[in-house]
Structure 1
Amino acid sequence: MELESLELQNGNKVMQAYNHDEKFIHTFFDYKNESNSYPKRLKELSDRSFQRKELANVITSFMEPFGISEKAAKYIDELANDGVVVIGGQQAGIMTGPLYSVHKAITVILLAEKKREELGVPVIPVFWIAGEDHDLNEINHVYTEVSGKVTKNKYREKYILKLMASEAEYSHEMMTTFVKDTFRQFGETEHTKSLLDEVLEAVSLEKTFTGFFVRLMNGLFSEHGLLLIDSAYKPLREIEKGPFTGFIEAAEKIAKMIASTEEEFDAIGFGRPIQAEYDAANLFYMHETGRVLLTRDNEDFVNSSAGIRFTPDELMKVANEEPWLLSNNVATRPIMQDMVFPVLSFVGGPGEIAYWALLKDAFHHFGIKMPILVPRISITLVTPQAKQAMDDVALTVSDVLSGKVLDEREKFIETLHDEQFDELLRETETFLTSKYVELESVVDLSMTQLLHKNLEFHKKQLNYLRGKAEESLLLKHEVALRKYRILENELLPEGSLQERLFTPYTFMNQYGPELVRNLLCQPLKMDGTHQIVYL
């Protein structure tokens, strides 16, 4: 592997401000993403109390069915005592979901190892699975490239209720077929059979989207001690009783803080990441119809479409006696996470850092500061095929990722046109048009419509010739044009960064299961730059 760093030209505006704007950081965050912030955060955490033993037991019981490595067991023991965590998370996508899930886990592991060494304290990597999310359309698909086209392949099973990913059970038969079809589209290599067997084993051993995701992620990262926890895990909810009651008690204040901060955020040009409302409860309730969002109506907590209404006392009772019926939304999840885990730093993507920027006052309301936010490592994998294509068409990775491939391809096609043929077609059309004008001047008026119709027929035939000539031209130069298609499909599929679409199995199928392990050995930078890895 070879490595280089790149500042993306079309970088996210919030991320540019987070990486370079001191005023932005001071306004919306408690700590700068720099080394001297870590001792301060450690001091803050040492002054707070956590249910460490209970949390360690919860993680142990959650991970046991998937297997706990020796290193993970050591980390759980450290967490039960005085360890702090680097944490990040993601939804439970099929076959780990897009590459950025793996990139996030890699960042969590590398950052934890680095800070353990620098600070001389136990720093533990934790991956938080958003199993409580119920939008299955965000996780039920895998992208592949077939016959020069990037295709979205959806798992087609229908779910009527708004089920959380941790409760949505898949058909083993349908998921097995889906996985086999996906690997068939990857193409057969020396690694295909072992990888396919591994994924199919996970399908058979699990029954929910979250279980499937966790088993694969644990397989990829167990030797690095990555701890995994599902936000929807019922025993975890027992530890979350206190925070839930705090959210209910302060619902009006929290909603006002977040909504007003978002208005400020929008006014200075950063948009509205979560569309916060002043009547938000920032909590979900598990109803018989599925997971439903609560809002506030005067003092009550309601969801009109589900016919739900709780007084504050009634919802407090739920939080204390049946906390598994409650779950966080995008605004309260970061605060809950920080109350449950001793979070040294949080690893997030651009979207997450944008909505975390709205939460500073809400954190402070509970007497805590926001952790240090570290942008996850962003990676583009460049295959030898893509590298050769770039060399052949004289484009750089920066050119491709800034969207220049389409323009360059059009310029190339322009150079291929037969100007003599095009000119003759234009002359023929002009000549025919002029002759039909002459004909119109000497025929009876009743013939005019027929002449127009006849002329249009000739023009269509000329356009047909023009199209066929272009087809022939493109076919003749297919090898050269294919290079542009390779760059678009591999490095910027559907106009998005590769890591946002392709599962890591796309590349592991070609380069082997050790691909992720090899990435962890690279000197990947966590400074907001985009990492280019040449395979």
Structure 2
Amino acid sequence: MPENPVYMPIFQKTPLNQIPFFSKIFQDYIAQNAVLEPFFQFVPRKETFGKIIAQKQFPQEKRNLLYQIFQEQYERISLYKTEKENIEALLSEKTFTVTTAHQPSIFFGELYFVYKALTTLRLAEFLRALMPAYHFVPIFWLGSEDHDFAEISHFRLFGKTYQWHTEQKGAVGRMKTAEIAEILSVLPEKIPVFETAYTQYPTLAQATRYALHEFFGKKGLLVLDGDDAKLKKALIPVIQNELQEQKTEFFVKDTSLQLTRLGYHAQAQARPINFFYLDEGLRERIERKGDFYEVLHTPLRFSETEILQLTEKNPEKFSPNALLRPIYQELVLPNLAYIGGPGEIAYWLQLKSTFEHFRHLAPHLTMPMLLPRNFALVLTQNQSEKINKLQLSVQDFFQESHTLKKLFLSKLALQEFSLPQEKETILQAFESIKQKTAKIDKTLLSAVEAEEQKNLKSLEHLEKRIQKAEEKKHENELQQVLSLKEKLFPDGALQERKDNFLNFYLNYATFLEDLHQIFEPFSNEFYIIQIQ
């Protein structure tokens, strides 16, 4: 036994198919339902990786470029040994990547941001052990070109939402971080990593890379920003093909129709042109109108010759949307797997034919294996003790509040109060009255039925009053149950989609390390973790 054993949180696992928050298509994908096989390239199993590697032909010149880009993007950061080794390893044909992606949310946004990073790290470690002849590099693709500011501009800490207010527009990764200092000044504690990130790194993309480096760099995670002029050169043929042929919309619509016929909901919608025009303070859709290409909400207008010349000269001015960002990612990385959440996997399943279409422009382009990230619910020891005292299980709290409420009352042997026999007696009595009335004067039947309904409604009202009186006796316990439900599932959503990781990290310094030890790729289970 080591002198200083690692003190791990207690945890249990629940199969993802027992969690009511996930879509049908995601549940069927992880269950490997045969009907979805036409929509992905590689079965998400451990033994599939050898097959992917055998098919993966990634050009050496692209490895050289990737190496150069990482050198440039990490220029201001003092690299950890593992980061240096992983960047160097990218030059070797024996090296492959596993990738996740997310927008540069301030303070990492919601918990699932760090879950993505940790799952990707764990997958790379697992593959190194499984196939020691190869090297596997975990990549966090920074979605810095996204312009949905509302999505990345806030985070929830200890029940309070902190909001970044700015007049800046365009790609969020290019936004200046100076204004975030206002948030730093009102946080309940100082957080040195983010203090440095938002005061010493001028853009949100740079600041987020630094923060990810500080929290996960020692494990070897590399952050790649796709908003890079040199990297975008690989995308030129795709941009030009999309502008001229506009095939993505056809392929995605066709796939979406197939999925809809199978009873699934299409996650993403394609447009005729699935690129934005990107500039300082600007990210707007490109539309073809007649013989010209126009940038919406701007006076920018190009002929076909002009816009094709622009793609050659300034490919960085073209930004793929959510449907073509995966194509871009797989063009520039020797990638084997993409790690994503339920929504991401759903829209990747719409893209197989799009990947096949663009492969004629880049023979090394393949659709990666799609793997779910890890999922978790984190409880404090105090919360766990309260749940036990209330004679409930953590799994009970996954239910909707009204169902949980009924369940709790039933645990107290307080069944929902009702008067079924009395209702039946009233119905029988009125049935007799109606029969007698019909013999005398059928026109009075409506009056009898009205009285019947009146009596039934009075009885139902009485039921509710008696039920409330019963519940009032246990109002304190019920309030505890509902209060716990709100803390564990804020606004009725999964905790990981609302709360920030700092809720736990600030009080438990080993929080991220503990998760790193607990999470497992391919688990398809929901982790319930109790922090000690």
Same-fold call, TM cutoff 0.5: yes
Q: 2:82: which partner in 1?
A: 71
CA contact (8 A) 1:18 1:24 kept: no
Within 2, Cα distance between the matches of 1:529 and 1:361? 30
TM-superposed CA distance for 1:249, in Å, is: 4.5
| Dislocated runs of 4+, deviation >6 Å | 413-417
Correspondence for 2:41 among 5, 18, 30 = 30
CA contact (8 A) 1:86 1:346 kept: yes
TM-superposed CA distance for 1:48, in Å, is: 5.5
TM-superposed CA distance for 1:43, in Å, is: 1.3
Within 2, Cα distance between the matches of 1:414 and 1:521? 36
Within 2, Cα distance between the matches of 1:288 and 1:75? 32
Q: 1:333: which partner in 2?
A: 325
Correspondence for 1:6 among 14, 22, 29 = 14
Q: 1:136: which partner in 2?
A: 149
Q: 2:29: which partner in 1?
A: 18
CA contact (8 A) 2:110 2:498 kept: yes
Q: Show CA shifts across 1:140-174 (max 9, x none).
A: 111134xxxx4433222233x3x1112211334xx
Question: Equivalent residue of 1:46, what SS?
Answer: coil
Within 1, Cα distance between the matches of 2:235 and 2:527? 37
* In the alignment, structure 1 residue 178 sits paired with structure 2 residue 170: no
In structure 2, the gaps of 5 or more residues are 1-8, 360-364, 415-464
For residue 528 of structure 2, what is the amino acid of its counterpart? I
For residue 127 of structure 1, what is the amino acid of its counterpart? F
Distance verdict in 2 for CA 1:301–1:385, change over 3 Å: farther
Q: 2:240: which partner in 1?
A: 245
Distance verdict in 2 for CA 1:416–1:209, change over 3 Å: farther
- What is the number of equivalent residue pairs in this alignment? 460
TM-superposed CA distance for 1:54, in Å, is: 1.0
CA contact (8 A) 2:339 2:370 kept: yes
TM-score normalised over the length of structure 1:
0.79
Q: Show CA shifts across 1:21-62 (max 9, x none).
A: 442331110111012321111011136665111111101211
Q: 1:188: which partner in 2?
A: none
CA contact (8 A) 1:88 1:128 kept: yes
TM-superposed CA distance for 1:262, in Å, is: 1.4
* In the alignment, structure 1 residue 500 sits paired with structure 2 residue 509: no
Within 2, Cα distance between the matches of 1:155 and 1:62? 25
TM-superposed CA distance for 1:294, in Å, is: 1.4
Correspondence for 1:530 among 513, 516, 526 = 526
Distance verdict in 2 for CA 1:259–1:311, change over 3 Å: farther
CA contact (8 A) 2:275 2:318 kept: yes
For structure 1, which segment, 365-374 or 285-294, has the greater mean C-alpha deviation from structure 2 after superposition? 285-294
Correspondence for 1:158 among 159, 167, 175 = 167
For residue 9 of structure 1, what is the amino acid of its counterpart? I
TM-superposed CA distance for 1:411, in Å, is: 6.2
* In the alignment, structure 1 residue 271 sits paired with structure 2 residue 271: no
TM-score normalised over the length of structure 2:
0.80
* In the alignment, structure 1 residue 169 sits paired with structure 2 residue 176: yes
Q: 2:203: which partner in 1?
A: 208
Distance verdict in 2 for CA 1:344–1:414, change over 3 Å: closer
Q: 2:423: which partner in 1?
A: none
For residue 516 of structure 1, what is the amino acid of its counterpart? L
Supply the RMSD in Å over aligned alpha carbons: 2.8
For residue 35 of structure 1, what is the amino acid of its counterpart? K
Q: 1:84: which partner in 2?
A: 96
For residue 260 of structure 1, what is the amino acid of its counterpart? D
Distance verdict in 2 for CA 1:46–1:494, change over 3 Å: same
TM-superposed CA distance for 1:298, in Å, is: 5.2
Taking the TM superposition and a 5 Å limit, the aligned residue runs for 1:35-46 are 35-46=46-57
For residue 3 of structure 1, what is the amino acid of its counterpart? F
Within 2, Cα distance between the matches of 1:17 and 1:301? 41
Correspondence for 1:93 among 78, 82, 105 = 105
Aligned-pair identity in percent equals: 23
Taking the TM superposition and a 5 Å limit, the aligned residue runs for 1:130-529 are 130-145=143-158, 150-159=159-168, 161=169, 163-172=170-179, 175-181=180-186, 183-184=187-188, 192-193=189-190, 196-250=191-245, 252-277=246-271, 280-287=272-279, 290-297=282-289, 300-367=292-359, 368-404=365-401, 407-408=404-405, 478=476, 480-481=477-478, 483-512=480-509, 514-529=510-525
Distance verdict in 2 for CA 1:68–1:405, change over 3 Å: farther
TM-superposed CA distance for 1:237, in Å, is: 2.4
Within 2, Cα distance between the matches of 1:320 and 1:211? 26
For residue 494 of structure 1, what is the amino acid of its counterpart? D
For residue 528 of structure 1, what is the amino acid of its counterpart? N
TM-superposed CA distance for 1:117, in Å, is: 1.8
Within 2, Cα distance between the matches of 1:203 and 1:406? 44
Question: Equivalent residue of 2:90, what SS?
Answer: helix
CA contact (8 A) 1:50 1:340 kept: no
CA contact (8 A) 2:119 2:521 kept: no
TM-superposed CA distance for 1:239, in Å, is: 4.1
Within 2, Cα distance between the matches of 1:117 and 1:33? 18
TM-superposed CA distance for 1:333, in Å, is: 0.6
Q: 1:124: which partner in 2?
A: 137
